[in-house]
Structure 1
Amino acid sequence: MTNHDEMNEQHKENQNEDLSKNQSDVLPKGNIALNILIFIGWMILGQLPIIIILTITNLSVKMDTLKATMSTVLYLIVVSVVVWLIRRYYRRHTYEHTGKFTTKDIGINIGWAVLLRIIVYAFLFLLYKVTGSAQTSNDKLLFGDMNQQATNASQLAQVFPFIIFVITISFIAPYLEELIYRGIFKETLFKKTSFWLPFIIFSIVFGSQHGINNIISFIMYTSMGMVFYLAYSRRGNIKDSMMVHMIHNSIIGIAILVGYLSIMFK
């Protein structure tokens, strides 16, 4: 090997080392203090869709059809703007590259979703044994008290806002929560190689954001946050945690839809 070849080989090795270092030590864009404030803002904004559609759905019982329909259409416009704003911000600040799903990735995500349901059922069973209720305060807020459910069609929400409510909790809310709590939180506040600190902080923040009124509920939602974060961090792809979250919430959405239809066609 000539001196020229040796120099070229050394240059390539140095380039590879620099590239590896740059990829493993990527820092978030912008000022961290400002990013924290922006994250809090997105966190608050991300709560609006579920609050608005829940309010419309509950009020639709006493609304006429036109008002309920127009209110729901207005909600869809608002939620479209919210999704666009948060997604745009994330895409401008992410340092991850979301790859395509393989059959293996889908299988792993389904496995995470199954694990998540097992964790939830275990904690709800424990909650029932301790408090006498298998519902968290967050579930009661979203779906009503199981002991005070509608018994006839006249007590049900109107169909259009109810369907949009189910779509919101099954797909829109998980999409926004993953963008905010996994994507924006990790990728604007921590460097790429960070794991344990964002894992712990995020899980606690996620747990505390779900209407916690007892330690069992807090641990359950914190554990859920851990599963979502692990799904995301496996390959740094926000789509993975979105899929897990949507599968989990869709199971709940299907259950309440079946309950709604069973009362409607009783």
Structure 2
Amino acid sequence: MTIKKDSLIKRIVYMAIMYFIGPLPLSFVLIMSYKKNIVTLIALTVAWVLANAAVIYIAYRLVCRYTQKPILQKANLSDLLYVFGGYATILISNGILTFLNHAIYNRVQSPNNLAIEKSLLNHHQLMVAVLIINLIVVTPIVEELIYRGMAFNLFFNSNQVWLKILLSAVLFSSAHQSNTIFSFLTYAFIGIILGFVYWKSGKLQNSMALHALTNLVAVLAILL
């Protein structure tokens, strides 16, 4: 089924539903910080796995419905260039915006990053392990399916690429906690770069890989 067979209202509803349910599985991880009983912790971990599986399945089906092509495609050398070139661009944009955020607002990290850092450093091993997997594996899959796969293919025409990129970037940034314009722009620029990589390569797996690489380095920086 193509995009023309669904009304704009229906596409907006799809997007709104996934925007709000996408982060919900993480709540099971956050609840872990208040629990010590091993049975409860295992039950929360199972709930986290099942909730993420449901979200990924729904988002995957919607993306396939509107793109009518597989999510995973044959990789080649150019894909590595997109991923590592995109990461280098993210480092540059993050550096500039972090500098401006510190110079103007005297803040270095966003509330989102501070919350992640606190969770990784101040909780028990099971919660930390699940959170690391969530950040490095699950989040890139879920967020790329929703903010690139869906936002790109549910809205605007094929010749309105930059509107697609900007929409996906704004939605992506709004889903992360920000307390200054520069912290919001930091996530927005990451969203723009992820969107650009998806558009130019035509492969959602590349924006997923770039997203995973970005999160991996951030997690390692906190832990090490």
For these two proteins, the number of residue pairs brought into alignment is: 222
| Structure 2 Cα separation of the partners of residues 115 and 168 of structure 1 | 24
Q: Residue 30 of structure 2 aligns with which residue? A: 54
Letter of the 1:225 counterpart: G
In the superposition, the TM-score normalised over structure 1's length comes to: 0.75
Is the CA contact (8 Å cut-off) linking 2:79 and 2:201 kept in structure 1?
Answer: no
Higher Cα radius of gyration: 1
Is the CA contact (8 Å cut-off) linking 1:228 and 1:244 kept in structure 2?
Answer: yes
> Equivalences for 1:1-266 in 2 at 5 Å?
27-56=3-32, 58-60=33-35, 63-96=36-69, 99-144=73-118, 156-258=122-224
Structure 1: give runs of 5+ residues left out of the alignment.
1-25, 151-155, 259-266
Is the CA contact (8 Å cut-off) linking 1:182 and 1:232 kept in structure 2?
Answer: yes
In the superposition, the TM-score normalised over structure 2's length comes to: 0.88
Per-residue deviation, residues 226-266 of structure 1 (Å, max 9, x unmatched): 101100100322111111111101111223343xxxxxxxx
**Which 4+ residue blocks in structure 1 deviate beyond 6 angstroms?**
none
Is the CA contact (8 Å cut-off) linking 1:43 and 1:180 kept in structure 2?
Answer: yes
Cα 1:173–1:229 change in 2 (3 A) is: same
**Structure 1 range deviating more: 230-239 or 136-145:** 136-145
| Structure 1 Cα separation of the partners of residues 95 and 9 of structure 2 | 38
**Structure 1 range deviating more: 167-176 or 189-198:** 189-198
Cα 1:73–1:255 change in 2 (3 A) is: farther
Letter of the 2:6 counterpart: G
**Structure 1 range deviating more: 82-91 or 162-171:** 82-91
CA-CA distance at 1:188 after TM superposition:
1.7
Per-residue deviation, residues 144-193 of structure 1 (Å, max 9, x unmatched): 39xxx96xxxxx42212211101101121111111111111111222333
| Structure 2 Cα separation of the partners of residues 87 and 53 of structure 1 | 23
CA-CA distance at 1:223 after TM superposition:
1.0
User: What secondary structure is seen at the aligned counterpart in 1 of 2:176?
Assistant: coil
| Structure 1 Cα separation of the partners of residues 4 and 183 of structure 2 | 32
CA RMSD of aligned residues (A): 2.2
Is the CA contact (8 Å cut-off) linking 2:101 and 2:180 kept in structure 1?
Answer: no
Aligned residues with identical type, % of pairs: 23
Cα 1:197–1:108 change in 2 (3 A) is: closer
User: What secondary structure is seen at the aligned counterpart in 1 of 2:54?
Assistant: helix
| Structure 1 Cα separation of the partners of residues 76 and 16 of structure 2 | 34
Letter of the 1:168 counterpart: N
Is the CA contact (8 Å cut-off) linking 1:127 and 1:134 kept in structure 2?
Answer: yes
| Structure 2 Cα separation of the partners of residues 125 and 28 of structure 1 | 44
| Structure 1 Cα separation of the partners of residues 66 and 137 of structure 2 | 23
CA-CA distance at 1:96 after TM superposition:
4.9
CA-CA distance at 1:218 after TM superposition:
1.5
CA-CA distance at 1:201 after TM superposition:
2.3
Cα 1:29–1:97 change in 2 (3 A) is: farther
